[in-house]
């Protein structure tokens, strides 16, 4: 691995067969195998069994049986204990899980370590939330009360079998942030990881078995999106689908879900704005804004990629960004000090490079990066364009790569500044950089996005709701709202 050794646990994991988890058993897939590769070197990591519609069908049946059987009837204390045991197993295997996401996805180790710690916290958080699943009491309906004493209350019940479709950009985290609230709610799960990054979900599957979850509560079916993913989204035995991925695929999920009108949660793309006011503290704003774009080499749904900088500080700010970008170490995620890894695939690299060439041709000014490195793996330099205009594709389209589009603005009319920020069909994230908190809050109230930060960017947290306005999605994950997404409300009225 580019001269860097893996732990014994990761080596042992890679040497195992990589099958599908259905009904508590590791089974073969009928859709052949797919070689998963280290995107930093192109080296093959493992042959992974792929499932299709047949395996989705079996997994949904297993999840349905588990839902009707042991899982729904299990006492809350026992469900809590299982989830807490799973959290401890993740904690004890943090190195394995971090290494798997590094070699399968390409992310730097500092991000993988951070995400595993977050995942442990997330499972513990939702285990704790089980005891806070509460209904309410209310006045009985008028016509029932007219007939005598009555009682009306509401129950919160699991939505049923949840299908979960996961992307490749933060593989373990996007799996856990769907799985943990679903389990806490009492749902059973059929998860389809991304075909680009199947490994950490398989390790998670073994940990779920080791923790002692009943058979069929969690089923994991690797497969292609158009095959296993589509089959899951349209399956009539699935009550809810939770999807994280591109807006284009999100539209297909909605159409596939129409058949049985399953509940749908969508976490989609973004093109998030970053507003830098003239009084911003550049010491924190320059590295903060650079990381807003380049974190995860820009393969980050929250990436702040449209940077609006006040003209008074534009040149100094851009100079600082260029210096910061020039100092970012590109390399294998296992190498100490790596800040940026490779793009996930050849196809994705071609798309990102196409955007860079397109921006140049459209007249944007390239001030940093812009090249793919001449070495194995798809490494693209952190790239900064200035003099961008609202009509350019580099400003309008989600690139999902290390590409920043800077534009200067003048004046202090907050409505006009917010109009620049809101000129997008997306609405996932955003940030405002200023020392004046009054200005900051007034701008925040004008920006249409699900998560807006002040003097920081992408402040996701286990207990903090996350999701999109506009075409960035439907619903929220994380926090209480993330749990509510897996619960139905049942109103009960009794004549006494
Ligand atoms: P993608 O839409 O190509 O794939 C996501 C998942 O959907 C994969 O598991 C894939 O196999 C599956 N899939 C593909 N076609 C399908 C179909 N027809 N039916 C069912 N499933 C299908 O997205 P991606 O390239 O894996 O991820 C990148 C995208 O995800 C970006 O647009 C990014 O913004 C978005 N994303 C959003 C968030 C968020 O929380 N909002 C988080 C991470 C990534």
What average pLDDT does range 131-139 have in this prediction?
97
Q: Which residue has the least CA distance to atom 34 on ligand 1?
A: 269
The predicted structure's pLDDT at residue 410: 97
161 lines ligand 1 (CB under 6 A): no
pLDDT digits over 201-236, tens only?
999 999 999 999 999 999 999 999 999 999 999 999
Is the C-beta atom of 233 inside 6 A of ligand 1? yes
For residues 63-102, b (16+ Cβ closer than 10 Å) or e, as one string?
A: bbbbbeebbeebeeeebbebbebbbebbbebebbbbbbbb
* pLDDT value at residue 19: 98
- For the Cβ of 458 lying below 6 angstroms from any atom of ligand 1, the answer is no
d(CA 384, CA 366): 6
Q: Which of 249, 254, 268 gets mutated to test ligand 1 (max ligand atoms within 8 A of its CB)?
A: 249
pLDDT of residue 2: 75
- Ligand 1 centroid, distance to 209 Cα (angstroms): 27
What is the 298 CA–ligand 1 centroid distance (Å)?
15
Strand bridging mode 451-454 / 20-22 = unpaired
Quick check: CB of 85 below 6 Å from ligand 1? Answer: no
Q: Work out the average pLDDT over 468-486.
A: 98
Indicate if ligand 1 lies below 6 Å from the C-beta of 369.
no
The pLDDT value given to residue 96: 98
Residue whose entry in the numeric block shows the structure tokens 């997994």: 59
**Alpha-carbon span 171 to 307, nearest angstrom:** 27
pLDDT tens across 400-434, in order? Answer: 999 999 999 999 999 999 999 999 999 999 999 99
What distance in angstroms lies between residue 166's CA and the mean position of ligand 1's atoms? 7
The atom of ligand 1 lying closest to the CA of 266 is 41
Q: Give the pLDDT mean for 83-98.
A: 98
Using the mean position of ligand 1's atoms as its centre, give its distance from the Cα of residue 292 in Å: 20
Q: How far is the CA of 403 from the centre of ligand 1 (A)?
A: 20
CA 157 to ligand 1 center in whole angstroms: 28
Give the mean pLDDT of 159-174. Answer: 98
Q: Specify the pLDDT at position 4.
A: 87
Give me 224's structure tokens: 């292609």
What is the average per-residue pLDDT within 151-179? 98
- Mention every residue, 6+ apart, whose C-beta is less than 8 A from residue 402: 293, 294, 297, 298, 340, 352, 369, 380, 381, 382, 383
Q: Ligand 1, atom 28: nearest CA belongs to which residue?
A: 245
Query: For ligand 1, atom 18, which residue shows the shortest CA distance?
Result: 226
Closest-lying ligand 1 atom to the alpha carbon of residue 195 = 11
Using a 6 Å cutoff on CB, does residue 191 contact ligand 1? no
What value does the mean pLDDT take over residues 240-255? 97
Contact 254, 264 (CB under 8 A): yes
Please enumerate in sequence order all residues whose Cβ is within 8 A of that of 316, keeping only pairs 6 or more positions apart, or say none. Answer: 282
Q: Give the tens place of pLDDT for each residue, 299-353.
A: 999 999 999 999 999 999 999 999 999 999 999 999 999 999 999 999 999 999 9
Question: Rounded to the nearest whole angstrom, what is the distance from the C-alpha of residue 174 to the centroid of ligand 1?
Answer: 11
Structural contact between residues 218 and 184, judged by C-beta atoms closer than 8 angstroms: no
Condensed to tens digits (0 to 9), the pLDDT of residues 40-77 reads 999 999 999 999 999 999 999 999 999 999 998 899 99
pLDDT in tens, 357-387: 999 999 999 999 999 999 999 999 999 999 9
For ligand 1, is residue 229 a contact (CB within 6 Å)?
yes
Q: How many residues does the chain have?
A: 496
For ligand 1, is residue 166 a contact (CB within 6 Å)?
yes
pTM above 0.80, yes or no: yes
Cβ–ligand 1 distance for 301 under 6 Å, the answer yes
For 13, 61, 193, 263, the CA distances from 236, given in Å and listed in that order, are 35, 11, 20, 12
Which atom of ligand 1 has the smallest separation from the CA of 270? 34
CA distances from 456 to 9, 281, 290 (A): 36, 11, 11
152 φ/ψ angles, rounded to the nearest 5 degrees:
-125, 130
What b/e sequence results for 185-215 when a residue is b if at least 16 CB atoms lie within 10 Å of its CB, and e otherwise?
Answer: bbbbbbbbbbbbbbbbbbbbbbbbeebebeb
d(CA 194, CA 347): 15
Ligand 1 mutation pick, 105, 107, 167, max ligand atoms within 8 A of CB:
167
Ligand 1 atom nearest the C-alpha of 223 is 11
pLDDT at position 163 is 98
Residue 362 CA to ligand 1 centre (angstroms)? 28
Instruction: Provide the pLDDT for residue 1.
Output: 77
Q: Tell me, what's the pLDDT at 323? A: 98
C-beta of 227 in contact with ligand 1 (< 6 A): no
Mean of per-residue pLDDT scores for the chain: 97
Question: Is 194 touching ligand 1 by the criterion CB < 6 Å?
Answer: yes
Residue 297 falls in which region: left (phi positive, over 0), alpha (psi -120 to 50) or beta: left
- Per annotation, catalytic residue among 234, 267, 381, 477: 267
**267 tagged catalytic:** yes
Residue 211 alpha carbon to ligand 1 centre in Å = 29
Q: What is the pLDDT of residue 426?
A: 98
Q: What gap in Å lies between CA 117 and CA 483, rounded to an integer? A: 20
Is 452's pLDDT higher than 90?
yes
Is 383's C-beta closer than 6 angstroms to any atom of ligand 1? no
| Ligand 1 site, residue 230, Cβ cutoff 6 A | yes
Nearest CA to ligand 1 atom 13: 225
Q: Taking each helix axis from N to C terminus, what angle separates 8-15 and 199-211, rounded to the nearest 10 degrees?
A: 100
């Amino acid at each position: 691995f580019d001269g860097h050794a893996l732990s014994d646990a990761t080596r042992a994991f890679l040497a195992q067969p990589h099958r599908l988890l259905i009904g508590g058993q590791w089974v073969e897939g009928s859709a052949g195998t797919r070689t998963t590769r280290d995107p930093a070197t192109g080296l093959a990591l493992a042959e992974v069994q792929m499932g299709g519609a047949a395996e989705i069908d079996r997994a949904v049946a297993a999840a349905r049986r588990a839902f009707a059987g042991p899982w729904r009837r299990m006492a809350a204390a026992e469900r809590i204990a299982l989830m807490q045991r799973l959290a401890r197993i993740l904690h004890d295997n943090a190195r394995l899980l971090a290494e798997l996401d590094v070699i399968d996805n390409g992310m730097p180790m500092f991000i993988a370590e951070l995400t595993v710690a977050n995942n442990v916290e997330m499972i513990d958080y939702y285990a704790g939330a089980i005891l806070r699943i509460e209904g309410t009491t209310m006045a009985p309906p008028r016509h029932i009360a007219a007939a005598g004493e009555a009682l009306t209350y509401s129950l919160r019940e699991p939505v049923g079998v949840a299908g979960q479709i996961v992307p490749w950009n933060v593989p373990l985290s996007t799996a856990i942030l769907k799985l943990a609230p679903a389990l806490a709610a009492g749902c059973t799960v059929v998860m389809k990881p991304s075909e680009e990054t199947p490994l950490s979900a398989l390790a998670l599957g073994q940990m779920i078995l080791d923790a002692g979850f009943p058979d069929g509560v969690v089923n994991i079916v690797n497969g292609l999106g158009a095959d296993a993913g589509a089959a899951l989204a349209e399956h009539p035995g699935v009550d809810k689908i939770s999807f994280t991925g591109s807006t284009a695929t999100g539209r297909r999920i909605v159409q596939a879900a129409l058949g049985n009108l399953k509940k749908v949660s969508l976490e989609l793309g973004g093109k998030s704005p970053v507003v830098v006011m003239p009084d911003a503290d550049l010491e924190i704003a320059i590295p903060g804004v650079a990381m807003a774009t380049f974190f995860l080499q820009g393969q980050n749904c929250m990436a702040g990629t449209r940077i609006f900088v006040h003209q008074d500080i534009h040149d100094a700010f851009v100079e600082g960004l260029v210096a910061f970008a020039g100092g970012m170490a590109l390399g294998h995620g296992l190498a100490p000090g790596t800040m940026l890894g490779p793009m996930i695939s050849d196809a994705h690299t071609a798309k990102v490079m196409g955007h860079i060439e397109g921006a140049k041709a459209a007249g944007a000014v390239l001030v940093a990066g812009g090249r793919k490195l001449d070495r194995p793996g798809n490494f693209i330099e952190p790239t900064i364009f200035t003099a961008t205009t609202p009509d350019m594709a580099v400003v309008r389209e989600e690139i999902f790569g290390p590409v920043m589009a800077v534009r200067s603005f003048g004046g202090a009319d907050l409505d006009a500044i917010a109009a620049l920020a809101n000129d997008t069909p997306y609405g996932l994230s955003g940030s405002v950089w200023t020392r004046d908190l009054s200005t900051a809050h007034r701008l925040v109230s004008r920006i249409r996005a699900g998560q807006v930060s002040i003097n920081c960017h992408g402040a996701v947290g286990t207990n903090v709701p996350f999701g999109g306005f506009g075409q960035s999605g439907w619903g929220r994950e994380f926090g209480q709202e993330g749990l509510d997404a897996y619960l139905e409300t049942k109103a009960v009225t009794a004549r006494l």
